[in-house]
Chain A
Amino acid sequence: MAAYEREIPFLSIPEPESSVHGLSAVWGRGNQLILHTGCGQRRKAEGSGDQVVYHQTPSTLHQVEWQTDMHNPHTRKLVMQSHDVFVSLQKQSPEDKNASRKPQLIKCSRHYRAFIAECVQDLRKASLDPNVDQTEAREYGDQCEIFQTIGLIWSLCEILFVETLPGGIVLQQLLDWVKLHFTEGDVKARNILMAEEIETTEEYWSAIYIYILQGRLTEARHMLSLDPKFQHDTHGAYGRIDELMRRMPVFGTLSRQSLAEFDLKWRHWQDTCRQCLEDQSFVSYPRLEVVCKILCGDQSVLLQEVGDLIQELGGWYHLMVTRLLYTNPTVKAMDLHYHAKASMDACGVSGRMTSLDSILDKALEFDIYQMIKISSATLSNWWFVAHLSDLLHHCGQLDSHQLNFGSDLREFLLLEYSSTLMSHTSFWQVVADYLDHCPQFGRHYLELFIERIPLKTERKALKVLKACEDRDMKEQAQSICKVLGMRCYRQGRLGSALTWCLRSHDPTFATYLADKFLTEYSLKGGFTNIDLLDNLGAGMLLSDRLTFLGKYREFHRLYEQGDFSDAGALLLSLLRARLAPKQFWLTLLTDALPLLELDEVVFSSKQTYELLRCHEELERWFKSEEYKTRILPKKSKGQLELEKEKLELLQLGLSRNIAQALLKEGCGSLQGS
């Protein structure tokens, strides 16, 4: 994965029977395939009729994932950190004036760069860690190199596209760029300074040269002053070169001088340098002569005397920066690519450019598309291109360039990047945030992705549900509740199933569950999940059946509390409202029986008439076609007899109640009159 040249990876699946039956595959989430032994023979035998294939050994599922660079603990950190920056970057409204947004954009870019650097450090540490096994360590090493390259490219892009200065004078930034990424000078200097005695070895001079090549003249002068000869400077050569280095004018963006003024000063300074060289001031000090030649902008010395050093420092791009420093310090960003060409020719890389060379070259040509294209083809890492193109998009450097498959470049890269994250269990929140900012396909991807997130615990389900609700994805939210509800139902936890159902406001499922509760009641003769049913509140109104269930439970509660007249009235209203399914009517009427048997009269004559009417309706239903064809065959003989007996008892009870009620009402009216 980590190589620049993409080889076609070869992976063999250790499945013994695959040689006979072939392999079948199903897509997983993102870059993930689930492989198993197929049934290749069946297709072969199709001509001679279907033949079922029996495998000798049980097939195993193999999960194959690719582009998993961002899944190890060190790059994961980068994923999370860059996610935060990405999200905050998207929050900035694009309507803002360029001027006010720029500091924000630069800040974001710096953040990204800092995180890349941190990642490089972590990876380097991990690759040297003796506790990490060898292949893993090698992989970390490779990744470390890639991220180092990414950091180099990112810094250059930041200079060219993000932190553009008015006037386009880029030299100071370029110097910072080489200083940041090529620290050999500091390493060498530190080695020398750590030594007990300062020796003017080859390394010592290399350090000075590198400092000068990078325009860090203060450091160079400091190093030079450590030379013992500096103290006994009989010919004044050291003093002179020190003076030259000290007086080199620097064009800073904050300095008040105009460009022309600076140019004049600078020319004057270089003339002084040349004068010194012509005066042969350094003829007996070859090292100092080299320094002076560099200061004069002598081309040949860069390729010969210090040519090896420049190669060590990175080659043509360093050469370009050094050359510009001592020949053309007021170069504009737009002209850089001419100088790049020249430096490449000088270093002889034009014919054999590595991918890094061409990426930098394209960046200097301001050809963003080519740069991103080469980067995505060679860096084996979607992280970089996705984030860079997003940042450039926000800088307004990336005009919407329609690709021939629908989305623009930025979106395409973001989609690719999020696909590499999808195969990891833990990244779904990050993926969702990236997909949110893909205007064309993001929503569609996300809908498909969210349906495929495995939901092992309720907590995760709630979090995914929240993600759906935030994005107004009703269908997916419904399906999550349904899946969870059904799972609870299958595990026999009707209560939990009902809470999921109430959460999704799904009336059909509510009706289904209420029926299950009622069946359970008829079978066991009592309610379970009382705590829930008693406290349904407004949730009860979700479906008629659920309302009935809730009210029916209320009837039981009233009955248990001995509040018979209220219980009776509630029972009657349940029958009257016709909320209950017909097969449940007998149960309801039977529930009225004990009320009818009481000493005091619960039902008035009018109410009893109504009960009688219900009784008749039920009997009619028993004779109906619907009942006979659908329900009758399912009932046993004993059940039928029991039902018959109940009906008769009921009829008896009702008629007796009418008599009692009439009598009582009669008495009441008599007393009243």
Chain B
Amino acid sequence: MDIFVKFVSQKVGKVRWQPSSYKGIQFSDTFVTGSWDDEENKISLWKVPEVQSKAGAAGSWQQDYPQQKTPATLDGQAGEGEQEPALLCQLKHGGDVTDIRFVNQEVFLASSSSGSVQAFRCNKAKQDFVPSQKWDSIHHHTADSCACTCVAVNGTDISTCGEDGRINVLRLEHRQPIRTIDEADSCSINALTHLKQHEVITVNSAGQLKIWDLRQPGSQPTRFFIVSGEKVPLHCVDRHPTQPHLVATGGQNGILNIWDMRKEQLPVTLFDVHQSHVWEVKFHPTSPNNLFTCSDDGTVLHWDATKGQSSTGSAFRNMNTPTGPNPSSNLLLRGSTRNAPSVDSETSSPWLSSETTSNQLEINHVLPGNCNPVNSLDVEGPQLICGTDGEALYYIPNMNIYL
């Protein structure tokens, strides 16, 4: 596993991959970062170098087949420098960047600690992005501004939450929010995500999880969950990409909670591994038996629940291998195609069965040696990026991710 570090001279608050224009065929090579806690904050667009063709890029399986030395590996010295993400474009941003989400391949939204949400449009050809639409102060107190903490996107629906406990629903073509739930929460809402078309799930500073039906009037949630034990704030939430009743959250005490939306009130499984605030939790979008968390204690963890299940093959080996320098090993690989996991995922999700998890779940440190708080991570295919308060951007092009 190669790790590339880029010092960016700004504390990184959020990182997000830009969706690839050839989804499923090619992984994205651009991502967006937003800084926080600086005198002048910035949003930046980065490009990662094309590493897939390099020898070490495709993981350990290649060791069995001695690679022919390509010119690229011979002058490795020159190649190494190229592997750092390169800055394409940078714009100033008013206030901390609290969240970034892509609406589609070109448009992304950034929320600000000043309470506004701004849309940006990327231009692939020019390799830059420009601000387009802005919703000013949609989160506010009676007299003061207040931070917008999170944005979630589902199709054309955009929902935002803030420290004022408000939920706003936006549409790109509308200048004003199309729905506002004013007193949705009595504390700050820290994160939200879409559960279904009109359903969002929010987490707040009092350890509560609420599900809202955005079509229903009134300011009451449809369902309500709460952490067990001390009511510590929850900072992040993510939904299992294929089993929508499974939700993971991370909070102040470093505990990763897995919730089953079909059950009542309390979390189903608790994993107490981090020492401090869990700032982001993320299921792998296409291999959801892999989960990633990052924390204020400087660790990024890869929760691998594939052990004990059928396949051990890399989920990305076929995509990983280009029609590059070594076609023969490529062929061999195709021969050993991975088996689709035959486990009935409805009944035995590795995230729920707590008594079996201990031997099924493997937890790996992704960034050994880092001591600075990690604020955000994003993963696409085998590529992982994360950003820290140590003003560093970590880029790992070839995670070992199994189905």
Shortest CB distance B180–A (Å) = 17
Q: A532 touching B206 by the CB < 8 A rule?
A: yes
Q: How far is the CA of A80 from the CA of B190 in the complex (A)?
A: 28
B272-297 at interface with A (beta carbon < 8 Å)? 276-277, 296
Closest to B221 in A: A531
**A-contact bits for B359-403, CB 8 A (1 contact / 0 none):** 000000000000111000000000000000111100000000000
Contacts of B208 in A (CB 8 A): 531, 535
Contact count band on A = 35 or more
**A-contact bits for B171-212, CB 8 A (1 contact / 0 none):** 000000000000101111010000000000000011010100
Shortest CB distance A473–B (Å) = 16
Q: How far is the CA of A539 from the CA of B231 in the complex (A)?
A: 8
Cross-interface CB contact of A457 among B98, B226, B371, B391, cutoff 8 Å: B98
Contacts of B224 in A (CB 8 A): 531
Contacts of A532 in B (CB 8 A): 186-187, 206
CB of A482 closer than 8 Å to a CB of B: no
Shortest CB distance B388–A (Å) = 9
Q: B165 touching A496 by the CB < 8 A rule?
A: yes
B145-184 at interface with A (beta carbon < 8 Å)? 146-147, 149, 163-165, 183
Q: B187 touching A80 by the CB < 8 A rule?
A: no
Q: B231 touching A87 by the CB < 8 A rule?
A: no
Q: B187 touching A496 by the CB < 8 A rule?
A: yes
> Given A429-B372, A493-B186 in contact, is the A463-B296 Cβ separation under 8 Å?
yes
> Given A426-B11, A493-B186, A496-B187 in contact, is the A84-B371 Cβ separation under 8 Å?
yes
**A-contact bits for B205-240, CB 8 A (1 contact / 0 none):** 110101000000000010010100011010000000
Q: How far is the CA of A172 from the CA of B267 in the complex (A)?
A: 65
Q: A496 touching B186 by the CB < 8 A rule?
A: yes
CB of A562 closer than 8 Å to a CB of B: no
Q: Which of B136-144, B300-308, B344-352 forms part of the interface with chain A?
A: B136-144
Closest to B146 in A: A491
Contacts of B39 in A (CB 8 A): 424-426
**A-contact bits for B244-287, CB 8 A (1 contact / 0 none):** 00000000100000000000000000000000110000000000
Q: A456 touching B9 by the CB < 8 A rule?
A: no
Q: B163 touching A499 by the CB < 8 A rule?
A: no
B21-45 at interface with A (beta carbon < 8 Å)? 36-39
Cross-interface CB contact of A491 among B142, B233, B252, B276, cutoff 8 Å: B142
Q: How far is the CA of A496 from the CA of B164 in the complex (A)?
A: 9
Q: A499 touching B7 by the CB < 8 A rule?
A: no
Q: B142 touching A492 by the CB < 8 A rule?
A: yes
CB of B84 closer than 8 Å to a CB of A: no
Cross-interface CB contact of A456 among B113, B149, B392, cutoff 8 Å: B113
Q: How far is the CA of A429 from the CA of B375 in the complex (A)?
A: 14
Identify the interface centre among A424, A460, A463, A538: most chain B CB within 10 Å of its CB: A463
Q: B163 touching A425 by the CB < 8 A rule?
A: no
A485-508 at interface with B (beta carbon < 8 Å)? 491-496, 499, 502
Q: B183 touching A528 by the CB < 8 A rule?
A: yes
Closest to B296 in A: A466
Q: A80 touching B392 by the CB < 8 A rule?
A: yes
Contacts of A537 in B (CB 8 A): 230-231
> Given A76-B9, A499-B187, A535-B226 in contact, is the A458-B147 Cβ separation under 8 Å?
yes
Q: B165 touching A495 by the CB < 8 A rule?
A: yes
CB of A193 closer than 8 Å to a CB of B: no
Q: How far is the CA of A538 from the CA of B228 in the complex (A)?
A: 11
CB of A58 closer than 8 Å to a CB of B: no
Q: How far is the CA of A529 from the CA of B288 in the complex (A)?
A: 36
Closest to B210 in A: A531
Cross-interface CB contact of B206 among A87, A424, A535, cutoff 8 Å: A535
Chain A interface main SS type: helix
Contacts of B9 in A (CB 8 A): 73-74, 76-77, 80
Contacts of B98 in A (CB 8 A): 457, 459
CB of A397 closer than 8 Å to a CB of B: no
Closest to A496 in B: B187
Q: How far is the CA of A457 from the CA of B36 in the complex (A)?
A: 10
Total inter-chain residue pairs, C-beta < 8 Å: 117
Shortest CB distance A56–B (Å) = 30
Contacts of B205 in A (CB 8 A): 458, 496, 499
Q: How far is the CA of A457 from the CA of B144 in the complex (A)?
A: 13
Contacts of B11 in A (CB 8 A): 426
Contacts of A424 in B (CB 8 A): 39
Q: How far is the CA of A536 from the CA of B207 in the complex (A)?
A: 10
Q: B389 touching A429 by the CB < 8 A rule?
A: yes
Shortest CB distance B190–A (Å) = 8
Q: How far is the CA of A81 from the CA of B185 in the complex (A)?
A: 41
Identify the interface centre among A456, A493, A502: most chain B CB within 10 Å of its CB: A493
CB of A377 closer than 8 Å to a CB of B: no
Closest to A539 in B: B231
Q: How far is the CA of A607 from the CA of B372 in the complex (A)?
A: 61
Q: How far is the CA of A250 from the CA of B50 in the complex (A)?
A: 45
CB of A462 closer than 8 Å to a CB of B: yes
Contacts of B230 in A (CB 8 A): 537-539
Q: A493 touching B372 by the CB < 8 A rule?
A: no
Closest to A91 in B: B371
Q: A492 touching B141 by the CB < 8 A rule?
A: yes
Q: How far is the CA of A424 from the CA of B10 in the complex (A)?
A: 12
Contacts of A531 in B (CB 8 A): 185-186, 206, 208, 210, 221, 224
> Given A491-B144, A537-B231 in contact, is the A466-B187 Cβ separation under 8 Å?
no
Contacts of A528 in B (CB 8 A): 183, 186
CB of A83 closer than 8 Å to a CB of B: yes
Q: A529 touching B186 by the CB < 8 A rule?
A: yes
Contacts of B371 in A (CB 8 A): 84, 87-88
Cross-interface CB contact of A502 among B10, B231, B296, cutoff 8 Å: B231
Closest 8 CB pairs of A and B: A495-B186, A529-B186, A73-B9, A491-B141, A77-B7, A76-B9, A80-B391, A532-B186
Supply 9 A–B pairs (Cβ within 8 Å), ascending by A: A425-B38, A458-B163, A459-B96, A491-B143, A491-B146, A496-B165, A496-B186, A499-B187, A538-B230
> B-contacting residues of A (Cβ < 8 Å)?
73-74, 76-77, 80-81, 83-84, 87-88, 424-426, 429, 456-460, 462-463, 466, 491-496, 499, 502, 528-532, 535-539
Knowing that A425-B38, A491-B141, A539-B230 touch, tell me 19 more A-B residue pairs with CB under 8 angstroms. Answer: A80-B391, A87-B371, A456-B96, A458-B188, A459-B36, A459-B96, A460-B36, A460-B96, A462-B233, A466-B296, A491-B143, A491-B144, A493-B165, A496-B205, A499-B205, A531-B208, A531-B224, A535-B206, A539-B231
